[in-house]
Structure 1
Amino acid sequence: MRIGTVDIPSQLALAPMAGVTDAAFRQICAEQGAGYTVTELISSKALCYHDKKTFSLLRQFPGEHPAAVQIFGSDPACMAEAAQIALEASGADIIDINMGCPMGKIVNNGDGA
């Protein structure tokens, strides 16, 4: 499988899950065959405001490639800034934009589906 220029070496991909897909969980899944991992969804506003707790969500385990960071938000300028911040801070191969999360705290802010 391929996403843009990034080759995915396995048909197994780990979906982003809020409160679940931290670096340790992603590493376990990669060791069990996941060829592509994604962080839990990360607020673009929190990245733009340089929230320290949020930056910890960007941490990757050693050798985590190919990997993606998933961001969410509704402000185009903040999303663009957050994507750049996430890319630089994490070293991820892909920035994934969440466009379908039905969670109340996401949707109620105009950030989800």
Structure 2
Amino acid sequence: MNIGTVAIPSKLALAPMAGVTDAAFRRLCAELGAGYTCTELISSKALCYRDKKTFSLLRQFPGEHPAAVQIFGSDPACMAEAAQIAMEYTGADILDINMGCPMGKIVNNGDGA
């Protein structure tokens, strides 16, 4: 399977899960056969404000490829800046822009579905 030009070497992929898919969990899943990993949902505003805790969510384990970073937000300028920050910081292969999260804390800010 491919996502654009990125080849996914397995039929198993790890979905982003808030509060779950940190680097240690992603590494474990990759060791157990996940051919693709993704960070948890990351706020574009927090990246734009350079929040230290948020940057910890971007940490990748050594050799984590193919990998994606998932961001969410509603301000186009901030989303563009956050996308650049996330990709430069991680070296991820894919940027996943979440546009369908139904969680109240996301939707109430105009950031989700």
TM tier, shorter chain?
A: over 0.9
Does residue 69 of structure 1 match 2:75? no
User: Within 2, Cα distance between the matches of 1:111 and 1:64?
Assistant: 28
Match of 2:41 in 1: 41
Match of 1:18 in 2: 18
- Alignment deviations for residues 35-54 of structure 1 (CA, whole Å, 9 cap, x no partner): 00000000000000100000
Match of 2:78 in 1: 78
Q: Secondary structure at the match of 1:39?
A: strand
User: Within 1, Cα distance between the matches of 2:107 and 2:63?
Assistant: 34
Residue 78 of structure 1 and its aligned partner are, at CA, apart by 0.5
Q: CA RMSD in A?
A: 0.4
Aligned residues: 113
Q: Secondary structure at the match of 1:41?
A: strand
Match of 1:87 in 2: 87
Q: Calculate the TM-score normalised by the size of structure 1.
A: 0.99
Residue 23 of structure 1 and its aligned partner are, at CA, apart by 0.2
User: Within 2, Cα distance between the matches of 1:107 and 1:31?
Assistant: 34
Q: Calculate the TM-score normalised by the size of structure 2.
A: 0.99
Residue 88 of structure 1 and its aligned partner are, at CA, apart by 0.4
The list of structure 1 runs, each at least 4 consecutive aligned residues, that deviate by more than 6 angstroms after superposition, is none
User: Within 1, Cα distance between the matches of 2:110 and 2:19?
Assistant: 20
User: Within 1, Cα distance between the matches of 2:28 and 2:55?
Assistant: 21
Residue 99 of structure 1 and its aligned partner are, at CA, apart by 0.8
Q: Secondary structure at the match of 2:40?
A: coil
- Percent of residue pairs identical: 89
Residue 98 of structure 1 and its aligned partner are, at CA, apart by 0.4
User: Within 2, Cα distance between the matches of 1:111 and 1:19?
Assistant: 18
Residue 7 of structure 1 and its aligned partner are, at CA, apart by 0.5
